[in-house]
Amino acid sequence: MDMIQRPRRNRQDAVMRSMVEENRLSVKDLMYPLFVMEGSNKETPIASMPGISRFTLDLLLKEMDACIQLGIKSFALFPQIPESKKDSTASESIKRGNIYLESIYQIHQRFPEIVMLTDVAMDPYSSDGHDGVVKNGQIINDETLPILADMAVAQAQAGSKLIGPSDMMDGRVGVIRDALDDAEFTNTGIMAYTAKYASAFYGPFRDALESAPKFGDKKTYQMNPANKREALREAMLDMEEGADFLMVKPALAYLDIISLLKDNSDLPIAAYNVSGEYAMVKAAAQNGWIDGEKAMIESLLSMKRAGAQVILTYFAKEFAQLKID
């Protein structure tokens, strides 16, 4: 064969393949989501997310310490709130000493060197299970915004360096930015859930928080999975309103959206490898249908290749234990 160009020459052994590798996955790319609950000395495994648990704060601090020793330096924290403390205005979210704010404070005191994304949304605290104020079966956008702003300031006061508004209300990034600045938290960043789709892949997460909507769905505020260009509109708004990161959620089924935002923004792009994506790999591996470790690495690498600089993933600890770096 008269071929001058033979791409296989650059694939002939492991060292050669490493030399020409275009993307490399590192534990530094990963942010580990964790779940905290009330009580002490308790760990509750989440059945739909093998290997993932809810922790009381005392055990959560030990879990985080173990993760930090493995090289994980960024985390995302989510609270499981008892039903008895939920109401229509998510008032528990800003009560001094609640499990979430106390956790943020204790983590910041214990591990000041790490970055922890804290969640701003009504649904963990809402008796309706929605991300906004509900009236007559409708999600009321503008009445929700002051609640989110108060949440963000309370979390910053507790020590959060990075706020994650996950609600998808219009205008929330700007309102939160103004509230943080007015409270003199100008250095507290915002990782906007920019393109958060109304996805079927969130089920295990809602099991973890016991925060599923009590009625209807979230399609009036989360994005339509059929839409791509709309993600650019959301991104432009978040950038104008003061976001420091743009996030795509879910990740694996939305690699094109990650790439789209990367190509159209100078801000760092985050991708959330959500609970359902994690659970699918775990379930298939447990049944012997795929190699779970290889599928994990390939999935995470695809997100980085698409343009994600930060990957929120439940695989973070498992990946870190491989000590690939």
For the stretch 216-252, pLDDT in tens is 788 889 999 999 999 999 999 999 999 999 999 999 9
SS3 309: coil
Q: Is 143 labelled as part of a ligand binding site?
A: no
Q: What's residue 121's pLDDT?
A: 94
For residues 256-283, give the mean pLDDT.
Answer: 97
Tens digit of each residue's pLDDT (9 = 90 or more) over 177-188: 999 999 999 999
For residues 288-305, give the mean pLDDT.
Answer: 97
d(CA 81, CA 83): 6
d(CA 70, CA 85): 35
Tens digit of each residue's pLDDT (9 = 90 or more) over 67-105: 999 999 999 999 999 999 999 999 999 999 999 999 999
State the residue for tokens 């005191």: 109
d(CA 288, CA 271): 28
Active site residues: 196, 249
d(CA 286, CA 280): 10
Q: What's residue 209's pLDDT?
A: 65
Kindly report the number of other CB atoms within 10 A of residue 160's CB atom. 28
Q: How confident is the model at residue 1 (pLDDT cuts 50, 70, 90)?
A: confident
Tens digit of each residue's pLDDT (9 = 90 or more) over 152-171: 999 999 999 999 999 999 99
CATH code of the region 22-246: 3.20.20.70
